[in-house]
Amino acid sequence: MRLLRLGPAGDERPAVLDDEGTAFDLTGLTADIDGAFLAAGGADRVRDALGTLPRLAVQEGTRIGAPVARPGKIVCIGLNYRAHAAESGAQPPAEPVVFMKASDTLVGPDDDVRIPRKSTKTDYEVELAVVIGREARYLDGPADAAAHIAGYAISNDVSEREFQLERGGQWDKGKSCETFNPMGPWLVTPDGLDVPALRLRSSVNGEVRQDELAADMIFDVPHIVWYLSQFMVLRPGDVVNTGTPAGVAMGMPGQPYLRAGDVMELTIDGLGTQRQRCV
């Protein structure tokens, strides 16, 4: 099942897509797709209501918002693909590398990405995003994680590498710039989704840069959710970005970083495609 939010920023309407791609209005069930909706079993209520929901007339060019509203936090995992760790000059980590990203970086999947003032090293990162649907604290083991996952989406963990690595060694500065987390186009519920088989791809101006399977993660999704729950409470609506494959500009000598006018396109099998223009 694919949940999404349609309309202008700050005034999105919750919707669900059927298998044919027809949109149905969820405003009779919820005001938004957010932590409260997910915590109250919203996805199950939508599933039960399928077939009775009013069809939503979607005009061509209608904006798609991020598929979850106002996450309490965006938690990110670094260096979670061996080839990406190698291209970054790092050894594969023994435990997940964790950093935070400001939650107000979240924008729609096709919204413009703003290159920060004085930036010379803005980079792209296609990532599998996990959205938490049920509070997770001190889970006993990775096998418990599935019950706390509402669904999956595409994230672009846009990063400014000079700010991240050369301005005091504090990653959040290079991760939390305005518009630095396009997400969507939709939130796909876990039923029937073979997560390790998902293929992540990114391109810049039509040139393929990243192409790898989620199975190549060093720490898989259940391990990440369990691990994070030992250090922080994961709450409904929180977003977890699970790391990026090899092929980012930072890891490819001579590869240009992003500039105004560049177009990024990111795809994950079964989760759709997003496209951003840099401005």
**Residue 41 in contact with residue 134, Cβ under 8 Å?**
no
pLDDT at 255: 80
Closest by CA to 187, choosing from 13, 17, 9, is: 17
DSSP 171: T
- The pLDDT score that the predictor gives to residue 34 is 98
pTM above 0.85, yes or no: yes
Cα dihedral sign, 5-108-178-243: positive
Separation between Cα atoms, residue 67 and residue 275, nearest integer Å: 15
Place of tokens 């560049």: 262
Give pLDDT tens digits for 216-272. Answer: 999 999 999 999 999 999 999 999 999 999 999 998 888 899 999 999 999 999 999
Tell me the C-alpha distance between 276 and 113, whole Å: 6
- Amino acid symbol at 219: F
Q: Where are the beta strands (DSSP E) in 197-262?
A: 199-204, 207-213, 239-241
Domains of the chain, CATH where assigned: 2-49 (no CATH), 74-277 (3.90.850.10)
Ranges of residues in the chain whose predicted pLDDT is under 70: none
Q: For residue 272, what pLDDT is reported?
A: 98
